[in-house]
Amino acid sequence: MLIHQLPYHHDSSLLFERIAHQPWAMLLDSGQMLDTQTGKPGSQYGRYDMMVAEPFITLVTKCENTEITQHNQVSTSAENPFELLKKTLSQFPAPQTNFPFTGGTFPFAGGALGYFSYDLGRRLEKLPNLAQDDVQLPEMMIGIYDWAIVVDHREKTSHLVSHGFCESTKANWDGLCTRFGISCRVSPHQAKANENPFLVTSAVQSNLEEPAYKRAFAKIKAYITAGDCYQVNLAQRFTATVDGDAWQMYKQLRKTSPAPFMAYMQIPLTNDEQFQVLSNSPERFIQVSGKHVETRPIKGTRPRSSNATQDLVYSNELLNSTKDKAENVMIVDLLRNDLSKSCEVGSVQVNKLFQLQSFANVHHLVSIVVGKLKLDKTAIDVLRDSFPGGSITGAPKLRAMQIIEELEPHRRGVYCGAIGYIGFDGNMDTNIAIRTATICKNLLSFYAGGGIVADSDASKEYAETLDKAFSLITIIKLFTRL
C-alpha cells in the first residue's frame, strides 16, 4: 500500500483543480464548504472527498456492447456490463482499506469510479423503445483507477493512496506526490479556465411544460386507478445552450447548493470531444462496507423558505403528511425486496422511517434500509439487483419504468442512474443521480421529477419539480448572457 500525506484544505476543489480538465478526471464531493461568516466548515453533510484521474482501464457501454481499453488496447464485449465490471475488478483483489491510521480512515484507495446511467436498466429489464435518445451518451462509463486522493474533513487530512497494481503508478509516485503536495493555490489549469468563462447562451426550455406535464400526470392517475401501478416518478427535462468551462459552473453550484453526494466528471466522448457530469445529489443509493449494506431512499419534498417561521411550517407539514409518508413506505418496501436478493435472509431491516433532512432549497423525508451481504455476493451484485433505484422509478418497478418510457419525451441518460465507486477492497458507495446535469456538445440538460400516487395533485406535483430544479436554474441565471 502506497500512502503519502498531503496538505489539507477545507475546499477540495482547489486540489482537484490540478486535474479537473484531464480526460477521466472525477471528483466525488461531500459538499463540505466553509462558512464565510465563521470561517469554519459550514456544511453538515459528508466527511470524505475523493478525486481520481488517469485510469489504467476504462469500460464504456453503448447499447449492446462495452468497449474495454487497457494498455492502449481496445476490445469489445457484449456481456452484461455489471458482470463485466465484476470480472474486471476481481483481477485486482485487495484487503479492506477502511482501516484506521493516524489521522482517519480510507474508504477508497483505488478501484472503479464513474456512472451507471438510468438507461443501463435496459440491460436488466425489457422496455419499449419510445423516448428520444437525442444526447446519446454512453449508458455506463467507468474508469479503473490505481491511485486516489482522499480528503477527510473530520480529521482535516488529505492523502494520496494506491494499492500499486499498475507499474506506472509506482514509477510515477514521486511525481504524483510532488504534483499534489504543494499548498493549494491558483494552478495553470485554473488560470486557463478563467480565460474561457462559462456562459449560458440561451433561455432554459422544458420538454414537458405544465399543460403537457398535466396530461402525462392524468395518464399516470388512470394507470393507478386501473391497478397497473401504485406510484410512478414523472420528470421534465430542462435544456439550454452553453459555452466555456463547465468546471466554473460546478464550483458555483457547490458553493450555492452543497449536498452530501455531489460529483464532477470530465469524460471523453470521442478523441476530440469531452462531456461533463455535474451532480449535487442529496440521495445515497447503495453503500456496502464489508458485509453491511445500506440504502437511503428519499420520498417527500417541501420547499425551503428564507423566512424561518414559514420554513418551519413547511418542514412540519412534510413530517405530518400522510400522503408523503405513504409514498415513502412504498419505495422502502420496494428496496427491502431489492436488497433481499443479495442479502442474508432476515437481515434486511428498516432502521429509520421518515427522517427529516433539509437542504439548500428543499426539505426531504429520508428512510434508512440496511442488510447483511450474503457470503457469495458482492457489492456489484447488490447494485445490479437494485438498479435503477426504486425511489426514482415507482412501484412496481418494471411497470413504472414502462410508463416513464411512454410519457417522458426523452431518454433520461445519467439522470436517475447512479454515480459512485466500487473499491478494489469490495466496498462501494453510490448516489442516485438526481439534481444532476450533463453538458455535451454545448447542450446543458438536467431533470426534475417526483413520485405520483393516487392522491397526488397535478399542480402541486408540477410545482415540486420546479422546487427541485431551483438550484440549477439559479446557477444558470448567474452565467446567462443573452
For the domain that residue 70 is a member of, what is the CATH number? Answer: 3.60.120.10
What pLDDT sits at residue 188? 52
What pLDDT sits at residue 98? 53
Does pTM top 0.85 for this prediction? yes
Amino acid (1-letter code) at residue 434: I
Find all residues with CB under 8 Å of 372, minimum gap 6, and list them.
291, 292, 293, 343, 344, 347
What pLDDT sits at residue 44? 52
Radius of gyration of the chain (CA): 21
Long-range contacts of 33-39 (CB under 8 A, 24+ apart): 33/254, 33/255, 33/258, 34/10
Sign of the CA dihedral with 384 first, then 385, 390, and 394 last: positive
On the CB side of 101, CA atoms within 13 Å amount to 16
What pLDDT sits at residue 381? 97
Q: Rounded to the nearest 5°, which phi and psi values hold at 75?
A: -130, 165
Total domain count, the chain: 1
Q: How many CB atoms lie within 10 A of CB 358?
A: 16
Q: How far apart are CA 312 and CA 38, in angstroms?
A: 24
* HEC assignment per residue over the chain: CEEEEECCCCCCHHHHCCCCCCCCEEEEECCCCECCCCCCECCCCCCEEEEECCCCEEEEEECCEEEEEECCEEEEECCCHHHHHHHHHHCCCCCCCCCEECCEECCCCCEEEEEECHHHHHHCCCCCCCCECCCCCCCEEEEEECEEEEEECCCCEEEEEECCCCHHHHHHHHHHHHHHHCCCCCCHHHHHHHCCCCEECCCCEECCCHHHHHHHHHHHHHHHHCCCCCEEEEEEEEEEEEECCHHHHHHHHHHHCCCCEEEEEEEECCCCCEEEEEEEECCEEEEEECCEEEECCEEEEEECCCCHHHHHHHHHHHHCCHHHHHHHHHHHHHHHHHHHCCECCCCCEEEEEEEEEECCCEEEEEEEEEEEECCCCCHHHHHHHHCCCHHHCEECHHHHHHHHHHHCCECCCCCCCEEEEEECCCCEEEEECCCEEEEECCEEEEEEEEEECCCCCHHHHHHHHHHHHHHHHHHHHHHECC
What pLDDT sits at residue 404? 97
Q: How many CB atoms lie within 10 A of CB 33?
A: 21
What pLDDT sits at residue 300? 85
pLDDT in 10s for each residue of the chain, 482 residues: 899 999 998 899 999 999 999 999 999 999 875 443 444 544 456 789 999 999 999 999 999 999 999 988 999 999 999 999 999 999 998 877 654 444 456 899 999 999 999 999 999 999 999 999 999 999 999 999 999 999 998 889 999 999 999 999 999 999 999 989 876 555 555 555 456 899 999 999 999 999 999 999 999 999 999 999 999 999 999 999 999 999 999 999 999 888 999 999 999 987 788 999 999 999 999 999 999 999 999 988 898 888 999 989 989 999 998 888 988 898 999 999 999 999 999 999 999 999 898 887 889 899 999 999 999 999 999 999 999 999 999 999 999 999 999 999 999 999 999 999 999 999 999 999 999 999 999 999 999 999 999 999 999 999 999 999 998 999 999 999 87
Catalytic residues: 283, 299
What pLDDT sits at residue 295? 95
Residue 209, CA distances (Å) to 217, 330, 408, 439 in order: 12, 28, 11, 22
Q: What's CA 454's distance to the chain center, in Å? A: 29
Residue range of the domain that includes 317: 2-479
Q: Are 24 and 267 in contact (CB under 8 A)?
A: yes
Find all residues with CB under 8 Å of 203, minimum gap 6, and list them.
240, 482
